[in-house]
Structure 1
Amino acid sequence: MSRAHLCSKSFLLPLLTLAATMVSKEIRTMSTANSKRFTPAFNPSTLIILAGALILSAALGIRQTFGLFIGPFSFDRGLPVTQIAFAIALHNLVWGFAQPFAGAAADRYGSAPVVAFGATTFAAGLGLAAVAPNGALLVVGMGLLVGIGVSCTTFGVVLPAVGRTASPEKRSVAMGLVSAGGSAGQVLMVPLVQGIRLSSGIVASLFALAFLMLLIAPLGIVLDRRGQAGTTVAQAGAAPLRQVLAQASRHRGYRLLTLGFFTCGFQLAFIATHLPEYLSLCHMPVGLGATALALIGLFNMAGSWTCGWLGGRFRQHHVLGWLYLIRSVTIGAFFVLPKSAASVVMFAAVMGLTWLGTVPLTSGLVAKVFGTRHLGTLFGVCFLSHQIGSFLGAWLGGLVFDLTGSYSLLWDATVVAGLIAAMLHFPIDDTSANMPALRSEPVNA
């Protein structure tokens, strides 16, 4: 089979004209609206946002590099692509199943112990993957341990902590800022790991990443400073968690949001895991895959903040619907059009603008409907759907390639899944659930 066939186009035709992406440069203040006093630049709310962004940068940036290890693990250690892809995919699945428990633990005990435990477990998984002599230990390290670690150091723990410090009208913007700041790791990690791997090998690069995770372990203490940030959470009379979950399971909008979030994980995991290898099959220059992943992270900084900004001004489920439509058109156009360095850069830019913008919008919508008291748990349940999609996107990419010698079926599937997700989000009812005992909005001092 020729290498040209491996990059063959599918039956898909361009579906819609790519919508122009709004990127605003306006910077909104996070200070208390009614305060007449001078507010220092590094107020407690700012510190919480910075700490959350650093934690997300490390965790998300590291997992963004996993696609760079598929080739080395395959050639240097003789592991099949399917097994490596399974290990990467498994961490997404473990992340999803562990996320509700990590979110519930953070809701109850605070972020500090959860982040510390997660960062340590994450580092242990990377260290085990570095020295794993066979596929089984690689699956345990990069799959199981990394999955548990990332569930404690990403959205389900960080964003609820940030959301509880912000007033309802500023919550979407605050979450967008943290998500945007967290994208810095995606920009920096890929070229850093690529450089270490080429100069010192995969063992050195994985141990460097493990050391970085240990450095962010104490930052969860800052996330628990919400009482010092001038906000309190009204927890008196809050409904039990079991009642909250039962109410959410009956809420049609929550079910549609959860189903639609599957697509986000499916699309992102497939692209992040298999784009470098796909570009090499298309005879693209060596290193262009790493450049594309770094560009996705760079543009994600603007995209995450912009989506949070849009979510504060428009109905969040409508913004989500358009975001999924833009993604599908972009993916379909990239796949069927001729490949060039310019087309790869344009694809990475647009995908970056829509990459993690779903997260502040989805978590903000959950908070709008159900309040923030159990936000970590409710978002965690919703995020489980996202991670099931991530598992399938990463694993099926490797499986389909091994079986057919082509990624064509998966590119088709990402387009179709995006169109379905858009149709699921537009009819969501975003009115507040009738649960007065659950409402636990922050009260500005």
Structure 2
Amino acid sequence: MTTALLENHGSASGTLFRLATAGSVDDGKSTLVGRLLHDSKAILADQLEAVARTSAERGFGGDDGGLDLALLTDGLRAEREQGITIDVAYRYFATDRRTFVLADCPGHVQYTRNTVTGASTADAVVVLVDARHGVLEQTRRHLSVVHLLRVPHVIVAVNKIDLVDYSEEVFTEIAATVRRVAGDLGLEGSVSVPVSALRGDNVVERSGHTPWYAGPTLMELLESLPSADDQDDAGASFRFPVQLVVRPQGALAPGVDPVDFRDYRAYAGQIAAGTVRRGDTVALLTPGQPARTTTVVGIDAAGQDLEEASAPQSVSLRLAGEFDVARGDLIAAVATAPTPSAHLSAEVCWLAQRPLRAGASVLVKHGTATVRALVQDVEGRLDLESLESEPAHTLELNDIGRVRLKLSAPLPVEPYARHRRTGAFLVIDPQDGNTLAAGMVMDGRVDG
């Protein structure tokens, strides 16, 4: 399969790829990220000098002249003092084939919320497993989150392979366990790679210490996998959450007809999915109101008048007729426009210290719309050992479970498996505005 990936996706050159890392504590995530940056020559000289100075101060020794490569991503002083990663550390780098946005997520169980943040927009997640310890509960939790978020690609890096004498047997056993867990979750297409982040084995360069491994290096995989922008976003049904109503302000530009200037109205936002063309018939979906139909008469972007635009472009749409459209509304292809629902069933990753119980009053943020909601029921919780749903009446911090919500106004929600952007939502505390959960609409949602 990995060979097919390399053969079939050579066209990935030049595309943007969003990458996140996850794993248990001390699995070596930050070191692996540092190794990717270092060996792909994505580190500036002054950065390398700073890392060398700090490494010397900490008494670090190793095969790279005493460089602690984890310092390339562990940017917070508190993290350096504790020797752990707390926040999501973002880095940007490029090879001659692709540009990367990389999110290094923390491994501690209490920071699973940060893993959800880092993985929510990722094209791929690299889940690290310590070769000495194998698949742990936190590994299962991270794979569950990856499945929940429908991340397109999962790479399992079996790290510290050097500390088990580059054992093929150890790697094969861990890879088999990963396949079994992934299969139970419904994850498809996961790939395992034996690596040593500290020594650089199979990260960017192929290792002579693992002659039994014939697959690609980690970097070869990352350069060859298709990104979301390469795939079906542009071919999906058109979805456009309205962010802003654009009306003319300021002085009249030279050569602009005063009548056209006075009558100009457009709706700005980022295309979440699909393609829109001038002349397309679209549906206007406002929470709590009947759907309306109109025609796209113009598409504006950066001062240009376009004939068509596709995800993930940011544009302004001009519509035929006069409609009361505002931030929070959704413009969608009329043939596939979702039916707004005031009741929904969803899977959530609970991210708050206090438990979730039925009867709680919350806010639901879907796209650019925010409405009040009532938690009607907590239907169950995922058991991370059996990967089966178990009965539950509450969700605790980092639990993944299924809930039913009643909304104060119908929203055009869709199954997350069909539309990753329009099937996701946030649960927010109405008192302090903190995020309580990340939610994904299930296929079995209840309309009403």
Q: TM-score, normalised by structure 1?
A: 0.24
Bigger RCO of structures 1 and 2 (CA < 8 A, at least 6 apart) = 1
The structure with the greater share of residues assigned to strand is 2
Q: TM-score, normalised by structure 2?
A: 0.23
The structure with the greater share of residues assigned to helix is 1
* Structure number, greater radius of gyration: 2
